C-alpha cells in the first residue's frame, strides 16, 4: 500500500485502523470501544481493554526467546559490559518490583527515577510498569532545583537513584544533588532506593535510604505477577519545558502507548524479533522512554543501554557497537553526528556497519550538510524524524514498512498515520498554501501514544496546547513548518520560548528564573542562538540591581561566572548559558513585553524586524554592542 492511502485510511477510519494495529500487542482483556472522544480534546483509546507494558516488553517473549539478549549494557565510562537475556531481565524486574511492593508502592503511586544510564534504571521503569506504579524519570543532567520542582509535582512515594554517574571520564555525583532536592521540596518521599556503583561517596539517611544490592539479595527469587491495567490508566509522566517556568508533566496511558510503539516498530523503524536496537539517547528524555525502554522490547528486539559519549574511547565507538552487536536499527541525534563530523571520517568505515538497516535521527533540525555527510560516510540510509515529548512517537518521517518513499535531506518527511497534520497561519488559523510558512498543528483527536493530559492539570493541557488558534480546537506543536509541492515538510524552528541545546529541550523562562534568583540580578532575558555544533545555545542578557558591580572587565567576568554557576547548581550544566551579557535595560515593547525574537535576531546577526513598538530603541543597541554586531 502507498503511504498516502495508508495515512488517509488512518484518519478516515480511525477506529478500524487502530483496532487492527491493536492486534500487535497482547491484551489480557479485549477492549470495547476503540476510541472514546466524548470529551474533546481528551482522547481515550481502547476503552476497557486490559494490558501491561512490562508484559508486552518482556513476559510475552519468554516462550519463544527467553535465552536471547534483551538488554545489553555498555558503559565506556566504567568499562562494564553485560547482557541480560529476556529470562534474566524478567527476573531482575521481578526483584525490583518486589522491592517496590515491600515499600508500599502500588498501582497509581508515583516512583521518581533519577539515574544514570545503568540497567537498574531500566529495571525500575519496567518494574513500575509491571505493578501499575507511575514512573517519572528525571534526566540525570538536571540539578537540585529542577529535581525539587518535579518531586513536588509528582509527589512520589519512592525515589530510585544512585551514588553517581560518569560523563566523559568525570564522575558526576547524584546523591548530594538528590539530598539537596529533597531538602528543597515540600513533598518528602517515604523511601529512597540507591544503587551504589562505588563511583562517589554516599551517606545513607537512616530510616529513609535503602541499599539496592541488599534489597535485591533479599528478593532474589521474587515472583511478581503483572498487574493488568485498563488501557487508559497512567503509565508514566515525563516533564518537559514550555513557555512558562513550570515544567509540564506529560502524562501517558498504557494501551494506546503500547499499540503506538508496536505499530511504529513495524511501519517506521522496521525492527524484527531477535535483532538489536541501539538508541544513544538517555532514559531522561522521551526518545529513551519510547525507543530505549519500551518499543524495541515490545518488538522482541534487544535494546542497548549505553553510558558514554560518541567520542570515547574514540570517535568510532558508536559504529564499533553496531558491528559488535549487529545492530539493525539505530537512533541518535543530529548533535551527536555534528560532533563526529569534526573527527577523522575514517572512523565511519573502520567497522562493519552493514547490519544497519537505517540510522534514525531526531530531536532537533537535521541540517542538510550533516545529513549528507553521515549518509555518504556511512553508506547507510539516514531517516530524519520529527516529534515531541508530547506525542511519544514520530509525527513526520517516512514509513518504509509501508512504502519505500524516498527521503529528502533537510526534511523529516511526511505526516505519519494517525496524525492529521495541518499548517496554519499564525494569525487567522487558516491553512497555508504550498511553500508557505505556518504553525505545525494536529487536528484532534491525537492518535494513540500521545499525551493524555498534563499531570494533575487538565485545564493546563487544554489551555497550553489547544487554544493557540482562535475558534479552532487544534493541537499546536509550537513549531514553524512549510510543505513543498511534493508533500515533504520542513521544520523551521519554535514559535515559543523553547530552545533546543544539543537535542535537549529547555525553556528559556526556567533559565531566566534561575538567573533572577542571583541576588545581584534585577531582571534578565534568555534567548536561543544558533550554534554550529549544538544547534542552539542559551545566551543571557542581565540587568544588574547595581550596574557598578560590572563596571570593569574583571568584575564582569567574575559575575558572569557566578551567574553560570547559579544555573549549574539549580538546573544543571545543560541549561548553563554560553554567555551572560550585562546591559542596563532590556528591549521591551511599550506594554512591557521583552522582545526576545529581536534579541535573538541580533545575536544571530539577522535583521531585528519591526521595532516601532519598542519602548526604548537604545536597549536593542546595547544588545547589538554586547554581541559585537
Ligand atoms: O522543535 C521540535 C524539535 O524538538 C521539539 C521536541 O523536543 P522534545 O520534546 O525533546 O522531543 C524530541 C523527540 C524526538 C520539537 O517541537 N524537533 C524534534 N525533532 C525534530 C525537531 N526539529 C526538527 N527536526 C526534527 N526531526
Q: Does residue 469 have a pLDDT over 90? A: no
Which residue's alpha carbon is at the smallest distance from atom 8 of ligand 1? 388
Q: Compute, in angstroms, the gap from residue 505 CA to the centroid of ligand 1.
A: 8
Q: Is the shortest distance between the CB of 481 and ligand 1 below 6 Å?
A: no
Q: Does residue 248 have a pLDDT over 90? A: yes
The Cβ of residue 16 has, within 10 Å, a number of other Cβ atoms equal to 11
Lookup result for grid cell 501491561: 52
Which residue's alpha carbon is at the smallest distance from atom 11 of ligand 1? 388
Question: What band does 612 get if pLDDT is binned at 50, 70 and 90?
Answer: confident
Q: Are strands 248-252 and 453-454 parallel, antiparallel or unpaired?
A: antiparallel
**Ligand 1 pocket test target in 364, 384, 494 with most atoms within 8 Å of CB:** 364
Q: Residues 311-320, buried b or exposed e (16+ Cβ, 10 A)?
A: beeebbbbbb
Q: Which residue(s) pair with 289 in the sheet?
A: none
Note the pLDDT of residue 312: 96
Average pLDDT of span 456-461: 97
C-alpha gyration radius of the chain: 24
Q: Does residue 247 have a pLDDT over 90? A: no
Which residue's alpha carbon is at the smallest distance from atom 3 of ligand 1? 364
Average pLDDT of span 549-574: 95
Residue of 276, 281, 299, 302 lying closest to 355 (CA atoms): 276
Q: Is residue 37 exposed (0-12), middle (13-18) or buried (19+ Cβ within 10 Å)?
A: middle
Vertex 296 angle, CA 291 and 301, to 5°? 150
Alpha-carbon span 290 to 455, nearest angstrom = 18
Question: What band does 471 get if pLDDT is binned at 50, 70 and 90?
Answer: confident
Q: How far is CA 497 from the centre of its chain?
A: 17
Grid coordinates in use for 107?
A: 498501582
Residue 603 exposure: Cα atoms within 13 Å on the Cβ side:
23
Q: Does residue 353 have a pLDDT over 90? A: yes
Note the pLDDT of residue 613: 82
Continuous segment of H or E residues that includes residue 566: helix 553-570
E-only strand ranges, 40-157: 42-45, 50-51, 69-75, 81-85, 110-114, 134-137
Q: How far is CA 53 from CA 129, 179, 256, 259, in A?
A: 6, 31, 10, 10
Q: Does residue 614 have a pLDDT over 90? A: no
Q: Is the shortest distance between the CB of 503 and ligand 1 below 6 Å?
A: no
Alpha-carbon span 460 to 453, nearest angstrom = 8
- Strand, helix or coil at 502? coil
- Strand, helix or coil at 221? coil
Q: Percentages helix, strand, coil for the chain, rounded to the nearest 5?
A: 35, 25, 40
Q: Is the shortest distance between the CB of 385 and ligand 1 below 6 Å?
A: yes
Which residue's alpha carbon is at the smallest distance from atom 26 of ligand 1? 386
Residue of 450, 457, 449, 448 lying closest to 154 (CA atoms): 457
Grid coordinates in use for 169?
A: 571520564
What are the φ and ψ backbone dihedral angles of 436, each rounded to 5 degrees?
-110, 140
Note the pLDDT of residue 617: 87
Note the pLDDT of residue 591: 85
Atom of ligand 1 nearest to the CA of 361: 26
Q: What is the mean pLDDT of the chain?
A: 96
Task: Give tens-digit pLDDT for 98-121.
Answer: 999 999 999 999 999 999 999 999
pTM of the model: 0.96
Grid coordinates in use for 251?
A: 502524562
Alpha-carbon span 148 to 258, nearest angstrom = 30
Average pLDDT of span 239-258: 92
Whole-angstrom distance between the N-terminal and C-terminal Cα of the chain? 53
E-only strand ranges, 463-511: 475-483, 489-494, 498-501, 504-507
Note the pLDDT of residue 57: 99
- Strand, helix or coil at 136? strand
Residue of 398, 391, 392, 400 lying closest to 412 (CA atoms): 398
Task: Give tens-digit pLDDT for 478-525.
Answer: 999 999 999 999 999 999 999 999 989 999 999 999 999 999 999 999
Question: What band does 244 get if pLDDT is binned at 50, 70 and 90?
Answer: confident
Q: Compute, in angstroms, the gap from residue 170 CA to the centroid of ligand 1.
A: 29
Which residue's alpha carbon is at the smallest distance from atom 24 of ligand 1? 365
Question: What band does 403 get if pLDDT is binned at 50, 70 and 90?
Answer: very high
Lookup result for grid cell 558491528: 323
Continuous segment of H or E residues that includes residue 220: none
Q: Does residue 245 have a pLDDT over 80? A: no
Average pLDDT of span 463-471: 90
Q: Which segment, 55-64, 236-245, 419-428, is predicted with the most confidence on average?
A: 55-64
Atom of ligand 1 nearest to the CA of 494: 1
Q: Is the shortest distance between the CB of 495 and ligand 1 below 6 Å?
A: no
Grid coordinates in use for 412?
A: 523529516
Q: Does residue 197 have a pLDDT over 80? A: yes
Grid coordinates in use for 52?
A: 501491561
Average pLDDT of span 362-379: 95
Residue 36 exposure: Cα atoms within 13 Å on the Cβ side:
13
Residue of 507, 527, 629, 623 lying closest to 578 (CA atoms): 527
Note the pLDDT of residue 363: 94
Q: Does residue 206 have a pLDDT over 90? A: yes
Note the pLDDT of residue 443: 98
Q: Is the shortest distance between the CB of 420 and ligand 1 below 6 Å?
A: no
Task: Give tens-digit pLDDT for 156-184.
Answer: 999 999 999 999 999 999 999 999 999 99
Note the pLDDT of residue 6: 98
Q: Does residue 1 have a pLDDT over 90? A: no
Percent of the chain with pLDDT over 70: 100
Q: How far is CA 344 from the centre of its chain?
A: 29
Amino acid at each position: 500500500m502507498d503511504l498516502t492511502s495508508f495515512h488517509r485510511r488512518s484518519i478516515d477510519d480511525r477506529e478500524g485502523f487502530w483496532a487492527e494495529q491493536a492486534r500487535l500487542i497482547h491484551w489480557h482483556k479485549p477492549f470495547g470501544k476503540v476510541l472514546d472522544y466524548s470529551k474533546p480534546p481528551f482522547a481515550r483509546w481502547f476503552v476497557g481493554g486490559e494490558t501491561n507494558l512490562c508484559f508486552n516488553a518482556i513476559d510475552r517473549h519468554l516462550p519463544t526467546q527467553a535465552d536471547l539478549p534483551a538488554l545489553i549494557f555498555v558503559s565506556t565510562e566504567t568499562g562494564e559490559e553485560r547482557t541480560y537475556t529476556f529470562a534474566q531481565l524478567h527476573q531482575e524486574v521481578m526483584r525490583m518490583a518486589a522491592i517496590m511492593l515491600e515499600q508500599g508502592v502500588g498501582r497509581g503511586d508515583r516512583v521518581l527515577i533519577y539515574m544514570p544510564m545503568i540497567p537498574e534504571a531500566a529495571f525500575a521503569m519496567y518494574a513500575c510498569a509491571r505493578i501499575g506504579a507511575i514512573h517519572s524519570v528525571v534526566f540525570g543532567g538536571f540539578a537540585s532545583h529542577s529535581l525539587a520542582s518535579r518531586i513536588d509535582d509528582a509527589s512520589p512515594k519512592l525515589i530510585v537513584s544512585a551514588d553517581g554517574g560518569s560523563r566523559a571520564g568525570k564522575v558526576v555525583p547524584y546523591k548530594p544533588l538528590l539530598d539537596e532536592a529533597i531538602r528543597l521540596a515540600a513533598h518528602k518521599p517515604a523511601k529512597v532506593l540507591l544503587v551504589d556503583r562505588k563511583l562517589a561517596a554516599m551517606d545513607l539517611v537512616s530510616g529513609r535510604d535503602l541499599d539496592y544490592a541488599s534489597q535485591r539479595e533479599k528478593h532474589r527469587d521474587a515472583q511478581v505477577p503483572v498487574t493488568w491495567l485498563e488501557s487508559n490508566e497512567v503509565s508514566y509522566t515525563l516533564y518537559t519545558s514550555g513557555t512558562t517556568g513550570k515544567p509540564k508533566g506529560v502524562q501517558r496511558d498504557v494501551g494506546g502507548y503500547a499499540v503506538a510503539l508496536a505499530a511504529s516498530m513495524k511501519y517506521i523503524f522496521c525492527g524484527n524479533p531477535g535483532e538489536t536496537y541501539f538508541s544513544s539517547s538517555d532514559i531522561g528524555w522521551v526518545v529513551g522512554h519510547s525507543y530505549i525502554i519500551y518499543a524495541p522490547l515490545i518488538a522482541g528486539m534487544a535494546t542497548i543501554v549505553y553510558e558514554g559519549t560518541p567520542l570515547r574511547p574514540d570517535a568510532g565507538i558508536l559504529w564499533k557497537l553496531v558491528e559488535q552487536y549487529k545492530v539493525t536499527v539505530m537512533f541518535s541525534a543530529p548533535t551527536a553526528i555534528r560532533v563526529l563530523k569534526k573527527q577523522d571520517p575514517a572512523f565511519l568505515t573502520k567497522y562493519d556497519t552493514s547490519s544497519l538497516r537505517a540510522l534514525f535521527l531526531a530531536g532537533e533540525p537535521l541540517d542538510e550538510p550533516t545529513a549528507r555527510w553521515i549518509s555518504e560516510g556511512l553508506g547507510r540510509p539516514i531517516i530524519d524524524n520529527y516529534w515531541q515529548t508530547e506525542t511519544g512517537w514520530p509525527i513526520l518521517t517516512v514509513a518504509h514498512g509501508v512504502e519505500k518513499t524516498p527521503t529528502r535531506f533537510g526534511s523529516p518527511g511526511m505526516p505519519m498515520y494517525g496524525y492529521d497534520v495541518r499548517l496554519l497561519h499564525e494569525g487567522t488559523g487558516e491553512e497555508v498554501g504550498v511553500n508557505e510558512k505556518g504553525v505545525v498543528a494536529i487536528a484532534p483527536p491525537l492518535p494513540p501514544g500521545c499525551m493524555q493530559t498534563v499531570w494533575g492539570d487538565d485545564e493546563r493541557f487544554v489551555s497550553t496546547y489547544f487554544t493557540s488558534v482562535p475558534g479552532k480546537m487544534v493541537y499546536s506543536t509550537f513549531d514553524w513548518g512549510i510543505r513543498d509541492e511534493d508533500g515533504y515538510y520542513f521544520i523551521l524552528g519554535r514559535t515559543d520560548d523553547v530552545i533546543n541545546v544539543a537535542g535537549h529541550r529547555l525553556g528559556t523562562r526556567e533559565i531566566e528564573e534561575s538567573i533572577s534568583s542571583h541576588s545581584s540580578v534585577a531582571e534578565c532575558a534568555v534567548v536561543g542562538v544558533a550554534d554550529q555544533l549544538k544547534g542552539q545555545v542559551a545566551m543571557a542578557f542581565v540587568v544588574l540591581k547595581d550596574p557598578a558591580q560590572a563596571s570593569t572587565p574583571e568584575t564582569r567576568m567574575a559575575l558572569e561566572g557566578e551567574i553560570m554557576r547559579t544555573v549549574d547548581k539549580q538546573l544543571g550544566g545543560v541549561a548553563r548559558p554560553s554567555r551572560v551579557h550585562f546591559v542596563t535595560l532590556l528591549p521591551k515593547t511599550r506594554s512591557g513585553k521583552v522582545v526576545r525574537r529581536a534579541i535573538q535576531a541580533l545575536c544571530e546577526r539577522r535583521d531585528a524586524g519591526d521595532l516601532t513598538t519598542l519602548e526604548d530603541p537604545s536597549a536593542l543597541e546595547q544588545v547589538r554592542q554586547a554581541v559585537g554586531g
